[in-house]
Structure 1
Amino acid sequence: MTGWTRRELGIGAAALGSALGPARARARPRVVVIGGGIGGATAAKYLAAGDALDVTLVEPKPRYATCVFSNLYLAGLWSLESLTHGYGTLARRYGVAVVEDAAAAIDPGIRRVRLTGGASLTYDRLVVAPGIAFRFGEIDGYDEAATESMPHAWSAGAQTRLLRARLEAMEDGGVLVIVAPPEPSRCPPGPYERASLAAYYFKQFKPRSKIIILDAKDSFYQQEVFREGWDRHYPGMIEWLPARSTGGVTAVDVPAGLVRTAQGTVRADIANVIPRQTAGALAHAAGLVDAGGWCPVDPETFESRLRPGIHVVGDAARAGDMPKSAFCANAQAKACACAILTALTGARPSRPHLLGTFYTFLAGNDAMGDAAVFTPADGTIRLSGAFLTGTGEQSETRRRNARAAVGWYDAFTRDVFG
């Protein structure tokens, strides 16, 4: 950000307000952002950057661990600390008021958010980035308590540490079972990257081990590239079983370490069960969710189609062809911030640029580098262009992708968290 900071302008602004009197000294429009993940943090930063709005970010945790690259942590290649970020720069450099609390309820009628600590925040516009929740109970025996024995690790932090500890403790020759969820879900290539990087770890330290993927789907993103990579790096170690061959996972027996499908039972030394997902609980409570479990939004402003004045970004949004990924959440948040600035300050409107860049690892030095362009059209968001990794690429190309991914992550998280 260039020019004078909010602190440097504070005295002059106060004096000008006193001179103009109450009518002209009205406070700047207030925007509250709920959720400090990728979408929420990006929205808060870009809303505050122009110094035209008072922006408050509500997030109960002081630091946020990215799901992006968390599979590298599971493989022992990155630390969890290197994936963890705070909100200090958003507060110091951009003037975002960070409130360490959670939203208990939203009252759209009076434009007020009540916090669990008892305080309330009023707003002119509200941005909600609630992330995902899990539909526990669809797999018999798999409830929230079961995640302590069969971790999903689909929200980075304690669950990721637990799964990593299980991988380290498993004896050579053990079996890791990954239950891949139905779509739509957070990070579509994530379960298959996880299988790849778990195999990378096993190949070095537990080479007799196996990985079985029990999928709720009959195909998955970049399937041929993954299968080619598995044959090259880990022949015979990873077995993928589509829903058509198993009938899907129906139940788990947590004490016995069993995963049951319609066609049989698989014994797991480690079961990584990733259940079906839906929009976060706050979105449901606030009436932002449709019958499909996600939040329908305007494709250009990300304003809720169900609750005017509330915008939804990130994994909870029903955003057409855009996958539920960190980079897409970042792009949505920028478009949303631009739309809010236009509406509240009269800034010149601009058409959103919805871009996605994705790095997906098959091994420590083998990564896909995919990119996509999305365009609002016909009331939704369409994929309008893409560059995808293909089969048969040279090893050096994949090594370059793996090196580039490190710089990409650094630049990306700096863009989000300042």
Structure 2
Amino acid sequence: MTLDRRTFLGTAAVATLAAPMVRAQGKPKVVVIGGGAGGATAARYIAKDSDGAIDVTLVEPTRKYYTCFFSNLYIGGFRDLASIGHTYGTLASDYGINVVHDWAVGVDRDAMTVTLTGGDTLPYDKLILSPGIDFVDGAVPGWDITAQNAMPHAYKAGSQSELLKAQVEAMPEGGLYAMVAPPNPYRCPPGPYERISMVAHVLKQTNPSAKILIVDPKQSFSKQALFEEGWQKHYGGMVERIGPDFGGANVSVNPDEMTVDIDGAVEKVDVCNVIPAMKAGRIAELAGVTDGNWAPVNASDMSTKADPDVYVLGDASAQGDMPKSGFSANSQAKVCANAVRGALTGSRVFPAKYANTCWSLIDENDGVKVGATYEATPDKIAKVDGFISQTGEDADLRKATYEESVGWYAGITADMFG
């Protein structure tokens, strides 16, 4: 099925039934932390479907949110930065959501309050955390967040995406671009390899003698056969990958010298994209709902194992079989919103169903995808069935897959931001 904005929003809709509020002491309060695919979607659906019966506050530090999905296409020159940037005005004006641009720096689960950097304290009846990812300290020896200007991660979109794009475009003739790929699990399994494709697309046009080196701690990666087929077809000889059997799991970097040490062999590089190991965004840890890295949740409603009044969506959650993607976060947000609304107003709660698709662009009009449907089990969100593009597909099908992804982007961003 080809997805456009109309069909995406139509299939995503959650049925609602009017019901009296459970609590009599005024409107129940929901605080949502994080305004991405999980948080913005959850806030919008709770506000919309409760028809004003729930007081919804969305806490997000940035006034313009740049989606990580499609940020690789910006690096590759297929989108401009403005096209992946979104604001929160419609959520406030059309849905009555109290949008607070600040950092959440503390959660008191006993008092059921959230503390902000500015000093405000927000009470909640239900708390939804969708903070995305942070990086594991020391994951790549020689690199920490202070080195992100010399060796950008570009795994939080916006200024980092701009920086990496500028560095690629400024590479000397015949230069070397290196990526230190992350270990599992991490945000967007195909993301690093779509980025390689987009960097290769730029270099093929502007610097065809340049080389790309992937240093990877993983034996395999999402859509590997599709990417490797595409790299050979479109960028023959440009891309080399070093896996763990040849030192890819024993890597350090020196941002001052712009070098990468691969199992003792030192490479001088011109651009180094370091994507470290990841964990849940800091506020989940501060709330005390993580296992040290990720937040374990119940598959039926995305509530945490640590506290039934706290929910964790998207990348930050440990939920089972779903990948950490924008589509997943959006899907989880709708299940969570329905459950939260039901708990606070007595409205009907539907059985949890989840879906995901991850599209990737390899070259112009050469799109591929992987996806699945999922169900809630007592132990986890479990995969029911799946699909993936095949090697050797014809050009018309690959073009249609790319166009489908463009329609999905329009649909999901409308679903998130109104």
Same fold (TM over 0.5): yes
**1:131 aligned residue:** 132
Separation in 1, partners of 2:251, 2:359? 32
Matching of residue 57 in structure 1 with residue 72 in structure 2: no
User: 1:94: how far off?
Assistant: 1.0
Give the conservation status (yes or no) of the 8 Å contact 2:75–2:199.
Answer: yes
Q: Match of 1:41, as an amino acid?
A: A
SS of 1:200's equivalent? helix
**2:107 aligned residue:** 106
Matching of residue 175 in structure 1 with residue 162 in structure 2: no
1:382-397 → structure 2 map (5 Å cutoff): 382-397=382-397
**2:73 aligned residue:** 72
SS of 1:398's equivalent? helix
1:34-53 → structure 2 map (5 Å cutoff): 34-50=33-49, 51=51, 52-53=53-54
1:376-415 → structure 2 map (5 Å cutoff): 376-415=376-415
Matching of residue 268 in structure 1 with residue 269 in structure 2: yes
Separation in 2, partners of 1:108, 1:386? 38
Per-residue CA deviation, residues 44-79 of structure 1 (Å, 9 max, x unaligned), is 001101222110101111110000011111111211
Q: Match of 1:272, as an amino acid?
A: N
SS of 1:357's equivalent? strand
**2:341 aligned residue:** 341
Q: Match of 1:45, as an amino acid?
A: R
Separation in 2, partners of 1:220, 1:371? 15
SS of 1:387's equivalent? strand
User: 1:26: how far off?
Assistant: 3.4
Separation in 2, partners of 1:348, 1:47? 13
Larger radius of gyration between Structure 1 and Structure 2 = 1
Residues matched between the structures, number: 396
Amino-acid identity (%)? 45
Separation in 1, partners of 2:298, 2:24? 33
**2:215 aligned residue:** 214
Per-residue CA deviation, residues 222-247 of structure 1 (Å, 9 max, x unaligned), is 11111111111111011111111115
User: 1:119: how far off?
Assistant: 1.0
Give the conservation status (yes or no) of the 8 Å contact 1:103–1:116.
Answer: yes
Matching of residue 27 in structure 1 with residue 34 in structure 2: no
1:6-21 → structure 2 map (5 Å cutoff): none
**2:6 aligned residue:** none
User: 1:24: how far off?
Assistant: 9.3
Give the conservation status (yes or no) of the 8 Å contact 1:180–1:275.
Answer: yes
Separation in 2, partners of 1:107, 1:314? 22
Q: Match of 1:27, as an amino acid?
A: G
Q: Match of 1:394, as an amino acid?
A: D
Matching of residue 202 in structure 1 with residue 213 in structure 2: no
Q: Match of 2:339, as an amino acid?
A: A
Give the conservation status (yes or no) of the 8 Å contact 1:56–1:99.
Answer: yes
Q: Compare 156-165 and 259-268 and name the one that shifted more.
A: 259-268
1:278-317 → structure 2 map (5 Å cutoff): 278-291=279-292, 293-317=293-317
Give the conservation status (yes or no) of the 8 Å contact 2:106–2:283.
Answer: yes
Separation in 2, partners of 1:85, 1:24? 35
1:78-97 → structure 2 map (5 Å cutoff): 78-97=79-98
Give the conservation status (yes or no) of the 8 Å contact 1:175–1:210.
Answer: yes
SS of 2:38's equivalent? helix
Q: Match of 2:355, as an amino acid?
A: L
Give the conservation status (yes or no) of the 8 Å contact 2:300–2:377.
Answer: no
User: 1:138: how far off?
Assistant: 2.5
Separation in 1, partners of 2:297, 2:73? 33
Give the conservation status (yes or no) of the 8 Å contact 2:299–2:378.
Answer: no
Separation in 1, partners of 2:107, 2:404? 41
Q: Match of 1:167, as an amino acid?
A: V
User: 1:263: how far off?
Assistant: 4.5
Separation in 2, partners of 1:59, 1:385? 35
**1:161 aligned residue:** 162
For residues 346 and 224 of structure 1, do their structure 2 counterparts lie closer, same or farther at Cα, with a shift above 3 Å needed? same
Separation in 2, partners of 1:125, 1:158? 33
Separation in 2, partners of 1:155, 1:238? 24
Give the conservation status (yes or no) of the 8 Å contact 1:45–1:417.
Answer: yes
Identify unmatched segments of 5+ residues in structure 1. 2-22
Higher relative contact order (CA 8 A, sep 6+): 2
TM-score, normalized by length of structure 1? 0.92
Separation in 2, partners of 1:245, 1:233? 25
**1:17 aligned residue:** none
Separation in 2, partners of 1:198, 1:80? 16
**2:16 aligned residue:** none
Give the conservation status (yes or no) of the 8 Å contact 2:102–2:118.
Answer: yes
SS of 1:229's equivalent? helix
Separation in 2, partners of 1:199, 1:154? 18
Separation in 1, partners of 2:31, 2:119? 16
Separation in 2, partners of 1:136, 1:267? 24
Separation in 1, partners of 2:367, 2:273? 23
**1:231 aligned residue:** 232
Q: Match of 1:246, as an amino acid?
A: G
Please report the RMSD computed on the Cα atoms of aligned residues, expressed in angstroms: 1.5
